[in-house]
Amino acid sequence: MAKKIKLPDFSLHNNIRTLRFHAHEMTQQELADRTGVSRQTIVAIENGKYFPTLELAFRIAHVFNTKLDDVFTVSLEK
Amino acid sequence: MAGKERETLVTLISSMLIMGSYSLYVYYTYLSKDWELINDFKFWGTAFLVLIPVTIGAQIGIHIIFAIITKIVTNEDMDTRSDERDKLIELKSIRISHWIFTAGFLLAMTSQAMGMQPWVMFVTLTASGFLAAFISDSAKIYFYRRGF
């Protein structure tokens, strides 16, 4: 029988609010339009209530012309 | 309340109104006059077949009116796009409605296996269909509020 591996707990954070501020206070609606989702989805992501797919995460990073690590960060919980 | 939440709420309320008024119509037009119809398969078959186009037509009409009212009040066009979060929420709510309807279907079949009258099966099927739609829409609103 395969041994059960305990996966580490981690939490995801995002810097979208900061990145929007540095992008001349880009609105949530503008980011939503440029990534092809609704404003409510951007709000949910920004508040950490919804984690986007890899595709959307890359789209967001592309809008801010930055790397994925700069948009989303992971912190391991001990 | 966001656009999609409002839209789901309208669907929820309209399905309650449609189902309620159709049930009352069927009861007062047919069943109150001839109670024997309650175990008539032809009666139930016709009632179900009529209910489907009535529901579709009424839902389309209500959503058109809702879109017009939204445009007048908020000056916003209805967002017909469906992004990844919408699809995820849709999938989750459909899964819930399938489980509820399956439970209702099993209950309806059990009633027949136990030798109950046919109307018990039809009422159980109708109620489970309505309940599935109701809880599915309520769950959708909850998921939108929660985030996903």
Residue of chain B with shortest Cα separation from A48: B147
Domain borders along chain A are 9-70
Split at pLDDT 50, 70, 90, the class of B128 is: very high
Q: What's the gap in Å between the CA of B81 and the closest CA on chain A?
A: 8
Residue of chain A with shortest Cα separation from B3: A40
pLDDT in tens, A18-67: 999 999 999 999 999 999 999 999 999 999 999 999 999 999 999 999 99
> Of the candidates B100, B126, B116, which has an alpha carbon nearest to the alpha carbon of residue B19?
B126
Split at pLDDT 50, 70, 90, the class of B18 is: very high
Q: Which helix (H) or strand (E) holds A11?
A: strand A9-14
Q: How far apart are CA B124 and CA B102, in angstroms?
A: 11
What pLDDT shows up at residue A24? 93
What pLDDT shows up at residue A56? 96
Contact flag B4-A38 (C-beta cutoff 8 Å): yes
Mutate to test the interface with B, among A41, A46, A59 (most CBs of B within 10 A): A41
> Of the candidates B139, B137, B133, B141, which has an alpha carbon nearest to the alpha carbon of residue B5?
B141
What pLDDT shows up at residue B94? 96
Amino acid at position A33, single letter: D
What pLDDT shows up at residue B45? 94
pLDDT in tens, B67-102: 899 889 888 777 777 899 999 999 999 999 999 999
Q: How far apart are CA B81 and CA A36, in angstroms?
A: 9
What pLDDT shows up at residue A78? 63
What pLDDT shows up at residue B77? 76
Q: Which residues are CB-contacts of B79 (< 8 A; sequence separation ≥ 6)?
A: A38, B3, B4
Distances (CA, A) of B27 to B21, B31, B35, B38: 10, 5, 9, 10
Its CATH class, for the domain covering A9-70, is mainly alpha
Chain B residues in contact with A40 (beta carbon < 8 A)? 2-4, 85, 144
For residue A43, the number of C-alpha atoms closer than 13 Å in the C-beta half-sphere is: 10
Three-state helix/strand/coil letters over A46-69: HCCCCCCCHHHHHHHHHHCCCCHH
